[in-house]
Amino acid sequence: MPPLNLHELTREDLRQQLVRWGFSSAHTKLLWNRLYLGLAESFAEMADLPPRLRTHLEAEATIGRPATVRETASSDGFTRKFLLGLADGHAVETVLMRYHGRVTACVSSQVGCAMGCVFCATGQMGYTRHLTAGEIVAQALHVARELRQAKGEGRGAKGSQSPSRLPPSPIALRPTPEHDVSQHRLRNVVLMGMGEPLHNYEAVMQAVDILHDPAGLALGAGQVTLSTVGVVPGILRLAAEKRPLHLAVSLHAATQAGREALVPVARKWPLDELMAACRTYSTATGRRIFYEWTLIEGKNDAAEDARAVGRLLQRLPAQVNLIPLNPTAGYSGEPSRSESAKRFQRILRDEFKLPSTVRQRRGIDIAAGCGQLAVGQ
C-alpha cells in the first residue's frame, strides 16, 4: 500500500487518521501548522513533533511535493511557469502571476483535458487522468514556497527546524514598485490551469476545502476562482452546495452554433441548458458569475457579438472578462485588435449596463497565458 499523502486530507481527516494510527488528536494542530504554515517539505523539518509520531509518519505517510521539472520566467518578471512532475511520471503546469497588490497561483485539475476547446493547448492534448486533491493543493503550496523563498525567509521558516538542502531558485522574482508584503504571500488561487475542474468535482472540492481552512493557507471565498467550460451538472451541484468560491464560465459565443464551433462540449450541454444552470446558481448563491469571452479577430469580436452577449446576460448578476486570444500551435486564429476590444466593452457598458474587464495579459512569451498550458511547451 503506498504511503498516505497528507496533503490529501482536510484538518478533520488528519485528526481522524492520527487517532486511527493510535496517536492523540492533540497533535493535529502542530502537524497541520507544519504542513500549511511552515510549508514543510519533509518530516525531518518537523523536529518538534514527538519522535514516535515522526518515525511513524516517515514510514506510513508522505508530503506529496511535486518535483520541478522545468521553470521559466516571463521577460517582464511578473510570471513564472513551473512544469511539475507527479509520482506516476505524468506532469502538469502551474503558473505564478504577479499583479499590483496580489499574487495568484493558476493551478491545474487534470493531466490534459477532455473538453476539446479548439483554441486551448490543453484541450488539444486530450485527457489522461484526474489529479488528486493532494496534487492540486501541492501546486498552491509550491507557489507559496517560492514566494517565501523570494522574500528571503528560506524553507526553514515558521517552525521548521532544519535548513533547506535545496539551492535557491535560479530565477528571481522581480520586485514590484511597492515592494509590499502582499507580493510575498499567496493571495489567490484560480483553477484555470490544465483540465476542467468540474469534470473532477470530488478532488477539486476537497482541495478547495483544504485551501480555505482558516488554520492553513486561509484563502477566503473571494480568493478562490473556479473556471468551467460549462459542465452543467457541476454548476448545479455548486449551486446546491453553495460552495464559497467565485465561478467563472467560459462562454466565448452567445449562440449555440457559435459555441459548438469553439467549445465542442456545447453539443452535450447546449447553451440554453448552460444559461438555465447559471441562473439557478446565481439565484441559489446570490453571487455573480464571471463570463469569460476569448476575443478572436473576425470570429466573435464584432459589434453584433457584443450585443448578443449583452442580451444573453442583461438580466443576470454578471461580469464579462474579455480575453484577447493567446497564441497556441494548434489554432490559427488571431487575437482581436485593441479597438475591437474597446468597442465590445463600450457596447456592454453603454447599451446593457454590463461590467466588463479586458484581462491583463501575463506570461504570453513563455506560453503561460490563458489557453496556453500544455505539457511539453
Q: Which residues are catalytic?
A: 93, 370
- CB atoms under 10 Å from CB of 323, counted, come to 24
d(CA 330, CA 66): 28
Nearest of 161, 75, 91 to residue 129 by alpha carbon? 91
Dig out the grid coordinates for 264 from the structure.
Answer: 465542442
The letter for the amino acid at 336 is S
d(CA 162, CA 375): 34
Strand partners, 227: 248
CB 80 within 8 A of CB 367: no
Measure the CA dihedral 227/223/13/51, to 10°: 130
CB 247 within 8 A of CB 287: yes
- CB atoms under 10 Å from CB of 120, counted, come to 26
Helix (H, G, I), strand (E, B) or coil at 156: coil
CA 142 to chain centre: 13
* Beta carbons within 8 Å of 132's beta carbon, 6+ residues apart: 5, 8, 203
Helix (H, G, I), strand (E, B) or coil at 228: strand
d(CA 297, CA 82): 30
